[in-house]
Each structure stands twice: as C-alpha cells, then as structure tokens.
C-alpha cells in the first residue's frame, strides 16, 4: 500500500517521461482556462467586493450567444462582435437593475444576487437557445484544429493546435489585461476602487462606470473562455460546472490577487491532472478531479488563511 | 386591533423573556398548529401532501439547520446538501444493518453522523473566514458526493448505485417505503420538524445562541469578552449539521423514496441557501416562509398556464420557472435584504400600534 502511494507513481513518471509531459501539458491547458475564469472573479471582487457567482453562467451564455447567432446565418466574425455587444448590454443591465439598488448591502446579499442572476440566465439561455449540446464554431473562427506529434525520448507527445492557440490567446489576454490595469487611466480607477471605495469616489471616480466596465471585461473573458472550452467539449449548460473549478483557484491564489489567480490556476490545473492520473485512477477509482482542487486549497488555507497571494488579513475590533 | 397589547403587563423578567411575550402570538401559532395537525390531514389530498406539505416542512428544517450556522453563528456554508446526504446514507445503513430498529429513532440518530462529519469539516472555520470558508465548505460538498458514488458499502453494493427505501413499519403501520401512506409520512415529518424547531428556538434563545450571535457579530470582540470561539463555532457546526442530517434522512425516507448521489449535488445546497436567505438569516420563522415560497412557487407557476388556458410546453414552464425564481430572488433581496421574516416583523409592529402611526 505504502509502495503504491509513495513510490510507484514516481517510478511510473520516470519510466514514461513522454506520458508525464503529455499529462503536464493537458494540466497546463486546463489550468490556463481555470486561471481565466478566476481572473473574471478577481476583477469583479477587487472593484466591488462582489463574489460573482455568475461568472460560470456568463461563460455559457457568451458561448451560446455566439453559436446561436452563427446558426442564424450571421458571419462568424460579426457574431463575435455581436456577442461582445450582448455582453456589454448584460453588464449595463446587471449594474442598473441588480447592483445599484444593492450598494452597501452585506457581502452575502450581493453574493446571493449573483446566484439569482445565474438562475435567470440559465432560464433565459434555455428558452432562447435550447438546452441541447452544441458544437462550437471552431473552424469558422479560424482556429486551427490539427495536431503536432512530437517524439521526445522515443515516446509520443500530441499537442493539439487548438490547445496551443488557447495558451497563446490566454497569455496575450492576460498581458493585455495587466497592461490595461497598470498603465491606463481606467485601469487605475479600477484598482483605486478596489483599494478604497470612498477615497476613490472622493477623487471623482465614477462607481457606476467602473462597475459596468469591470463586468464587461468579465464578459469578454467569459467569451474567450467559452470559445476555448466549447471547442474542446461542446457548448452546453454543463460548462457551468467549470466555474466551480475557479473557486479553489481563488482560495489558493487569494481573492484579490491577479497574479494569484494565474499561478493558482496553473498549479491546480497541473496538480489535479497529476493526482488523477497517478494516484486517483489506480487507487481511488478515478474522477477525483471534482474535489482534489478544493481539498488542496483547503490544506493550503489552513496554513495561509488569505491564500498564497491574497492581501494580508488585518483584523481590528 | 387584533394585535392590541393593552392590558398585558409584565411584572417579572421571566415573563418578559417568555417564548411568547404577546398573547396573540401564542394564539396565532396555536391556530397554525391546529391547522397543520388536525384540519389539513382531514381535508388535504395526496397531491397536496406530496408536492407541498412534506417538501415544505423538510426544506424548512434543512434551511433551519443552515440558518443556525450561517444566520446565528455567521459561518457561511455551501455544503448543506452533502450533509443532508450524510444523514440519508447513515439512516439507510442503519435500517438495512439493523432492520429491527425503530425507523423514527434511526432518522433521529442519523443526524449524529452528519454532526460528526460537520464538525470535522468545521475545523477549518477556526482559521478561515468569510468567502474563503464558503469555498472551503464546497470541499465537503464535492468530496462527500464523490464518496457517496465511489464507496459501494454505503449503498449496499447495489448495481444501480442508488439507495432504495425499504418498507419500514412501527407497530404495523408503514411509515416509509412504497407502502407507506402520505398522511402517515406527513405526521412523522410534522412531528420531527416540530420537535426540532422547538429545540432550535430554545437553543438560539439561550446561552449557546447568545455565544453564536456574539461570534457572528464580531468574533474577535466575542473572544475578548471570554467566549471560547472554538467551542462556539464547532457547536454551531455540530447542531447545524445534526438538523441538516435529520432533514436529509427525512428528505429521502419520507419524501423521495430513493436517492442517487447526485441528488445531493450543489443545486440542492443553493436551494436551501435561498430559502434561508429569502426567509431571513437569523430567524426561525423565516425558514418556513422561505420554504413556502421556494417550494410553492414552482407548483403555482406549473398549474397557472393550464388554469388560464395558455398552451405552454412543460419544458418551457420549467425554464420560465428557473427564470422567475432567479428574478424573484433578486427582487426580494432588493426590497427586503433581511428576508420575509423581517417583513412579517414590520407588519406585526404596525398591527400592534394600529390605528396610530407611532
């Protein structure tokens, strides 16, 4: 038993390094997607202290809108623009109808409101687009679909072009976002609001504009995630569960930290794949991916209650 | 006028702290209890018991358990459904391993197991707070549901992976399983729910409840006035999980009749959280009001189009339901963030003062 837990997995890893690389690569790709969703959470949490549970359904909704519009005969690239428009309208509507009347309420009330938004969007999406699984319009958007086979150490390593594209696009998106937050006026306003609402308001930053903007950025991230994940697994409401995967990422990285979201996402993506392949499937009957990330985050949190990169919690009485 | 308190004098602290400081409250509750215990069983149909009364009571009980943890002790939990599952599976193992056991005793004991699991998952709350804790309870949610699926001993190695409630009887009357009648099950549920409600009301009024509230309002301050935070938080987890576990056992044994692991998945947790929040955090009455709304609304919405003669497909109705429930949650949060219980408290205050404005 001890041998199977502590020695055999590592022997397996060393004996088949190409397979290990394959596992690491797949972990990296899903980790990047987790990091993207977590980024949407972090942006909204930083600027408004709202724990946005609706991020997952926004991913589904964006992907559904894109596919639905294409099915109506709209050219693919115009679909993307129109979907962005829909996400913008959604951001404005959420800010106007839901958030504005709830300003200043306790955190849990705002959290519940985002669950309300989630339910509303699930119902709306099902009515407009139907609940069946749809195929993402990967080729129409010009995303390559082939694969490259590498042969390190006489082994086999398959890299899907789709995954490579996802990694490149996600990296560019993150760099762009960081640049936006650090070097533009609007970005600074978002960060200022995150630090102190009242101070930011007193120097003339508009809360409403920033909130709409932040929800719109979260919408863009949702669209990118939706395209990437939809191309791998099809577009359906089951996509919503990947939002749960972003939660342990947030715990691990810290609710306020953008770096934390990225590093946490990569860590969880890779570690949960490794655990599933080398420990979960042989020893525990598989499907450990549903809980591994949470338990990992829980253990980390026992030692660092604010996550790895979160702001230090200072308590005052 | 009905709520006039003139002439009701309190001459001792004991009278002031009584369960019903105002006589009309006691009368109102008496009427509701009489309605629930006597009039409903005599008049209501099978449909009413199965789709309304039994689920409302069970959901209210589950929400009450969550409310003790979240509303009274301030520890946000998203793992309620998993603890319900622990209660249900514990009850199932008990009645199948020991068939001679009284089923009601088994249901009441099954909460003990979920209380144990609850305390184990509550230990992180000593270090983790707020949303971090909420996500930590999700670890319990996902891990336990996974365990229900993989640990074949729990469901007696059934090929289907689901648990089936056997026929259980007390003194020859079937209380659970396919042969039990709805009215009997209703009485069992009502009895257990009433008992636990009384227990919860008195716990939250007493010493323990005050420590919980102090912990909720500011835990460091509570610690400074001499409250043992570990004891306070862990008892909250234990009591809450006990109540939730019993409600889980009732959920499967008195209502569903069978359960698969994914029944205890996260949507159920959220459903119960809605009930607790819409009803009002930190209130016992609120759980019932919330459960009536959340359970009753889909039933009303489901029968409404047919009654009005509008042809709508059943799938459409279901989707519309989700949408309407979502918007109602937002609506109620906006008009009264403290829930329906606060709404009732405001109405009652106005009634006591009526016809004067102040």
State whether residue B59 sits within 8 Å of chain A by CB: no
In a domain, B26, yes or no: no
pLDDT at residue number B203: 92
CB-CB under 8 Å, B321 with A287: no
| Nearest-CB residue to A305 (from B76, B127, B138) | B127
| Nearest-CB residue to B220 (from A250, A295, A315) | A315
Closest CA to B176 of B186, B165, B163: B165
pLDDT at residue number B292: 92
pLDDT at residue number A308: 75
Q: How far is CA A225 from the centre of its chain?
A: 7
Q: Which residues lie closer than 8 Å to B303 by C-beta, 6 or more apart?
A: none
Produce one character per residue of B263-280: b if its CB has 16 or more CB atoms within 10 Å, e if not. Answer: bbbbebbbbbbbbbbbbb
Q: Is the peptide bond before B302 cis (omega within 30 degrees of 0)?
A: no
Cα pseudo-dihedral A100, A105, A110, A112, rounded to 10 = -130
Give me the mean pLDDT over the A211-229 stretch: 87
10 Å Cβ neighbour count for A138?
18
Chain A partners within 8 Å of B322 (Cβ):
119-120, 122-123, 126
Contact map slice: B 162-181 vs A, CB within 8 A: none
Q: Round the average pLDDT of chain A to a whole number and report it.
A: 81
**How sure is the predictor about B320, in pLDDT bands with cuts at 50, 70 and 90?**
confident
Please report the ipTM that was assigned to this predicted complex.
Answer: 0.81
In a domain, B38, yes or no: no
- Of the two residues B307 and B118, the one the predictor is more confident about is B118
CB-CB under 8 Å, B326 with A118: yes
CB-CB under 8 Å, A305 with B136: no
The domain spans of chain A are 2-303
**How sure is the predictor about A92, in pLDDT bands with cuts at 50, 70 and 90?**
very high
Of the listed ranges A280-294, B206-220, B245-259, the least confidently predicted one is A280-294
**How sure is the predictor about B1, in pLDDT bands with cuts at 50, 70 and 90?**
low
* pLDDT of B41 strictly over 70: yes
| Nearest-CB residue to B334 (from A101, A108, A297) | A101
* pLDDT of A105 strictly over 70: yes
CB-CB under 8 Å, B127 with A51: no
Chain A partners within 8 Å of B334 (Cβ):
98, 101-102
* Pairing label, strands A147-150, B168-170: unpaired
Helix (H, G, I), strand (E, B) or coil at A309: coil
User: A39: which 2 tokens?
Assistant: 């980024």
Chain B partners within 8 Å of A298 (Cβ):
124, 136, 139
Q: Round the average pLDDT of chain B to a whole number and report it.
A: 86
Q: Residue A127: exposed, middle, or buried by beta-carbon count in 10 A (0-12, 13-18, 19+)?
A: middle
Q: Which residues lie closer than 8 Å to B307 by C-beta, 6 or more apart?
A: none
* pLDDT of A155 strictly over 70: no
Q: Which range marks the domain in which residue B121 is found? A: 43-353
Structural domain count, chain B:
1
Contact map slice: B 260-289 vs A, CB within 8 A: 266, 270, 273-274, 277, 281
Chain A partners within 8 Å of B145 (Cβ):
290
Architecture of domain A2-303: Orthogonal Bundle (1.10)
Task: Write phi, then psi, for A315 (nearest 5 degrees).
Answer: -105, 135
CA atoms within 13 A on the CB side of A274: 18
Contact map slice: B 62-91 vs A, CB within 8 A: 70, 76
CB-CB under 8 Å, A291 with B143: yes
Closest CA to A150 of A141, A142, A159: A159
Gap from A291 CA to chain B (nearest CA, Å):
5
* pLDDT of B140 strictly over 80: yes
Chain A partners within 8 Å of B157 (Cβ):
none
Q: What percent of chain B has pLDDT over 70?
A: 99
Task: Write phi, then psi, for A159 (nearest 5 degrees).
Answer: -110, 115
DSSP string, B53-98: IHHHHHHHHHHHHHHIIIIIS----S-HHHHHHHHHHHHHHHHHH-
pLDDT at residue number B209: 92
* pLDDT of A154 strictly over 90: no
Gap from A308 CA to chain B (nearest CA, Å):
12
What is the sign of the dihedral through the CA atoms of A32, A35, A37 and A39? negative
In a domain, B202, yes or no: yes
CB-CB under 8 Å, B320 with A127: yes
The whole model's pTM is what? 0.87
CB B164 within 8 A of CB B32: no
**How sure is the predictor about B180, in pLDDT bands with cuts at 50, 70 and 90?**
confident
C-alpha separations of A139 from A32, A134, A142, A143, A145 in Å: 21, 14, 5, 5, 7
* pLDDT of A62 strictly over 80: yes
Q: How far is CA A249 from the centre of its chain?
A: 9
State whether residue B41 sits within 8 Å of chain A by CB: no
Contact map slice: B 210-269 vs A, CB within 8 A: 218, 220-221, 224, 266
The CATH number given to whatever domain includes residue B173 is 1.10.3470
**How sure is the predictor about A44, in pLDDT bands with cuts at 50, 70 and 90?**
confident
**How sure is the predictor about A22, in pLDDT bands with cuts at 50, 70 and 90?**
confident
State whether residue B139 sits within 8 Å of chain A by CB: yes
* pLDDT of A2 strictly over 80: no
């Amino acid at each position: 038993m001890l041998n199977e837990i502590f020695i055999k997995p590592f022997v397996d890893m060393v004996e088949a390094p190409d397979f290990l690389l394959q596992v690491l690569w797949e972990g990296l790709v899903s980790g990047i997607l987790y990091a993207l969703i977590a980024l949407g959470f972090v942006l909204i949490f930083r600027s408004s202290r709202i724990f946005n549970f609706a991020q997952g359904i926004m991913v589904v909704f964006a992907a559904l809108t894109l596919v639905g519009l294409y099915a109506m005969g709209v050219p693919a690239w115009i679909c993307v623009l129109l979907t962005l428009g829909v996400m913008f309208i959604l951001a404005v509507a959420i800010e106007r109808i839901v958030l504005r009347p709830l300003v200043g309420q306790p955190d849990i009330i705002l959290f519940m409101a985002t669950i309300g938004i989630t339910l509303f969007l699930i119902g709306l999406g099902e009515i407009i687009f139907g609940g069946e699984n749809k195929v993402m319009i990967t080729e129409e958007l010009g995303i390559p679909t082939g694969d490259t086979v590498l042969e390190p150490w006489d082994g086999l390593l398959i890299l899907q072009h789709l995954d490579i594209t996802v990694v490149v696009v996600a990296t560019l998106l993150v760099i762009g976002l960081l640049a936006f937050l650090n070097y533009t006026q609007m970005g600074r306003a978002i960060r200022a609001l995150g630090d102190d609402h009242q101070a930011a308001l007193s120097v003339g930053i508009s809360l409403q504009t920033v909130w709409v903007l932040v929800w719109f950025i979260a919408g863009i991230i949702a669209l990118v995630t939706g395209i990437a994940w939809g191309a791998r697994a099809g577009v359906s409401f089951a996509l919503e569960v990947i939002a749960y995967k972003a939660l342990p990422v947030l715990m691990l990285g810290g609710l306020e930290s953008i770096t934390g979201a990225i590093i946490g996402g990569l860590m969880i993506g890779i570690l949960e794949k490794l655990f599933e392949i080398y420990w979960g499937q042989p020893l525990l009957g598989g499907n450990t991916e549903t809980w591994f990330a949470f338990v990992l985050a829980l253990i980390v949190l026992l030692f660092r209650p604010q996550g790895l990169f979160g702001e230090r919690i200072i308590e005052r009485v | 006028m009905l709520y006039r308190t003139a002439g009701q004098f309190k001459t001792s602290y004991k009278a002031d702290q009584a369960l019903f400081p105002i006589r009309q409250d006691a009368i109102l509750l008496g009427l509701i209890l009489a309605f629930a215990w006597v009039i409903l069983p005599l008049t209501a149909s099978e449909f009413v018991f199965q789709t309304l009364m039994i689920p409302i009571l069970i959901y209210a009980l589950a929400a009450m358990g969550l409310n003790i943890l979240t509303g009274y002790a301030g520890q946000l939990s998203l793992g309620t459904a998993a603890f319900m599952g622990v209660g249900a599976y514990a009850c199932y193992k008990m009645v199948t391993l020991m068939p001679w056991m009284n089923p009601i005793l088994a249901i009441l004991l099954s909460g003990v197991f979920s209380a144990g699991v609850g305390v184990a998952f509550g230990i992180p709350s000593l270090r983790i707070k707020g949303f971090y804790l909420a996500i930590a309870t999700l670890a319990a949610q996902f891990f336990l549901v996974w365990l229900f699926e993989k640990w074949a001993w729990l469901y007696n190695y059934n090929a289907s992976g689901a648990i089936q409630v056997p026929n259980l009887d007390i003194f020859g009357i079937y209380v659970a399983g396919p042969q039990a009648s709805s009215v009997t099950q209703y009485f069992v549920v009502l009895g257990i729910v009433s008992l636990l409600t009384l227990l919860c009301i008195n716990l939250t009024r007493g010493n323990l409840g005050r420590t919980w509230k102090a912990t909720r309002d500011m835990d460091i301050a509570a610690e400074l006035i001499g409250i043992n935070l570990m004891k306070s938080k862990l008892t909250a987890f234990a009591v809450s999980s006990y109540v939730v576990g019993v409600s889980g056992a009732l959920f499967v044994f008195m209502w569903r009749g069978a359960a698969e692991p994914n029944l205890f998945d996260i949507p159920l947790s959220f459903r119960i959280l809605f009930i607790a929040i819409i009803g009002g955090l930190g209130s016992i009455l609120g759980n019932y009001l919330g459960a009536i709304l959340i359970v009753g609304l889909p039933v009303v919405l489901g029968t409404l189009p047919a009654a009005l003669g509008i042809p709508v497909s059943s799938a459409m109705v279901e989707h519309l339901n989700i949408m309407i429930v979502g918007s109602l949650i937002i609506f109620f949060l906006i008009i009264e963030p403290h829930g329906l219980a606060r709404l009732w408290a405001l109405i009652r205050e106005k009634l006591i003062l009526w016809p004067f404005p102040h």
